[in-house]
Structure 1
Amino acid sequence: MAPEDMMFSYRGISYPSTITSPETLEALKSFEARDDDVILVGYPKTGTNWLEQMVKELADARYTEEEMKERINAEKKLETFQRLELGDPGVYEILVLVRNPKDTAVSYYHFSNNLPLSPSFDSWDEFFADFMNGKLAWGSYFDHLAEWNKYIDNERIITISYEELKEDPILGMKKIASFFGFSLCEEDFSRIAKKTSFKAMKEKCGETHGKFGDALFRKGVVGNWRDVFSEAQNEEMYRKFQDSLGGTKMAAKIKYDVYCKA
């Protein structure tokens, strides 16, 4: 496909035409969730695949091995998509995942260039300009953060950061389990932490995510942005972050001064 055919615009935001469509997004207007549905929200490359597996492990910890086999077989029969915007077209409990914008940008850059389904970029500078202007699939990360900041105090929404999960996975999982009412013992948390470590998931990515595994699981570290950001880009990102989120609770959650300090 020509690069210009790989994207379409819906309500002012770009999406990849290779995996979704305007019709699917329009159908989501009438989507009705069950009262026990859980929705994970994340901008591309903020760690959604990692957190998705972690939440799944937390939710499944209560089942016996035999019950899990039955659940896996049932899921295979359903053949459901795990992304609302990729599938066929109440009350939500929502888990919002955020990541510092510098590492998000770098990870998204490598992801775009390693995934045949999306347009690639000739240089980091070209990608950085589009990232800062929101000209990427799924739009502006800054707009995404600003929008979810409006709901950060909602009792049915919990916001957790990629960085806090990296620093203390077990503490992060305990927060998530408490929010959703999952009952686990200490041994469960330790087992799931090992099973969902980046190293463990990368080793099995071919089995769990097929040919896209290598693109989804690259480094999984905090601070990789230091290898690519120029001084001018550091300053531009800081100004953009302050203009978009300065003084907000979302900014405090992301800890820009800690994780993005040049």
Structure 2
Amino acid sequence: MSDSKHSGKHDREMLLEMMHSTTKTSAEDLLISYKGILYPSVLCCLETFQALETFEAREDDILVVTYPKSGTNWLVQILYEMVSIVHNKEPLLDTTMIEFGSPEILARFKDRPSPRIISTHLQFKNIPKSMFEKKVKILLVLRNPKDTAISFYNFHNSLPPLPSYNSWNLFFKDFISGKVCYGPYFEFVAAWDNHFNDKTMMAITFEEMKVDFPTALKKISEFCQLPLNEEQIDLVARCTSFNSMKEQSENTHGKLGDSFFRKGEIGDWKNCFTEDQSKVVDEMFEKYLAGTKLGKMLNYAKYCKW
């Protein structure tokens, strides 16, 4: 994946252009596998995964970790706004997922000013070891599995680099079996729960951000040591509300804006799930997350029961 012909363009702009210009083909061509996990072949390559193993973290890095369609772009925008206020500089939204693009793009992370905001969908076992050695602050964003699945399904059918599905039922089977990009949802969350460190990690849910945004912003700013007063919190809230980001999506995500910012609702899953499908997810939750710290945070009874 060479980026020489795109020289002069921001990395983010380059990758968005690649996504938009991709022509949908077979799932086999659109996906690659690395260590048993599927990834979009248009955006990821084996050389970058190998280079990530020696990635050098900084102590003041902030790492945003999410399973796909759990609020990634939302959190990254929030952090950029906070950093711009605290450090009195314009936010530069040129970051990409750390696993996206060529090794050359990854190498350019070395030139980014601190504090760097880094985002990823990688599973715990594939996070660069230096992130833990440097005790980087890790912000884990969770979303209830049923809304995540619906959002991921629509994302597959609207984003050129991902395989399309003829029906929700077909996608559901792959989602439950983990045959989707970044692997099984429940194993993703369970692995982070098993290694959760309250000193260096903070978990927050998509749902609590939707219900009480100002309080969520305060928690994020305190954890990331980005002190903001009430007026500044209010400013960040206005700039990063879902409606505000959706309105600005053409500027931030080009022609793919609608794919990244669709509804952002809680409970949309009830429009697609059958009762049997709902029970399957209920059983998966009981198996992997019931009684865990992160499982309790998901407030499953409130957001995932009929």
* Runs of 4+ residues over 2 Å off in structure 1: 87-90, 151-154
Q: Deviations over 1:134-153 (max 9, x none)?
A: 00011111111001101333
Question: Aligned match of 2:97 in 83, 101, 109?
Answer: 83
Structure 2 residue aligned with 1:106: 150
- Distance in 2 between the 1:151 and 1:254 partners? 17
Q: Deviations over 1:129-184 (max 9, x none)?
A: 00000000111111110011013333101011000100111100111111111111
Please, which runs of 5 or more residues in structure 2 have no aligned partner?
1-24, 107-129
Q: CA RMSD in A?
A: 1.4
Q: CA deviation at 1:9?
A: 0.8
Q: Which amino acid aligns with 2:222?
A: S
Q: CA deviation at 1:62?
A: 2.1
Question: Aligned match of 1:174 in 215, 218, 222?
Answer: 218
Question: 3-state SS of the aligned residue for 2:53?
Answer: helix
- Distance in 2 between the 1:158 and 1:151 partners? 12
Match runs of 1:179-198 below 5 Å: 179-198=223-242
Q: CA deviation at 1:244?
A: 1.1
Match runs of 1:1-262 below 5 Å: 1-64=25-88, 67-68=89-90, 72=92, 81-87=95-101, 88=103, 89=106, 90=130, 91=134, 92-262=136-306
Q: Deviations over 1:205-248 (max 9, x none)?
A: 00111122110000011000010010001111100111111111
- Distance in 1 between the 2:283 and 2:86 partners? 46
Give the alignment's TM-score, normalised by structure 2.
0.80
Please, which runs of 5 or more residues in structure 1 have no aligned partner?
none
- Distance in 2 between the 1:154 and 1:241 partners? 23
Give the alignment's TM-score, normalised by structure 1.
0.93
Question: 3-state SS of the aligned residue for 2:33?
Answer: strand
Percent of paired sites with the same residue: 42
- Determine if contact 1:151/1:157 at 8 Å carries over to the other structure: no
Q: Which amino acid aligns with 1:229?
A: F
Question: 3-state SS of the aligned residue for 1:145?
Answer: helix
- Distance in 2 between the 1:204 and 1:222 partners? 21
Q: CA deviation at 1:194?
A: 1.2
Question: 3-state SS of the aligned residue for 1:50?
Answer: helix
Q: Which amino acid aligns with 2:189?
A: L
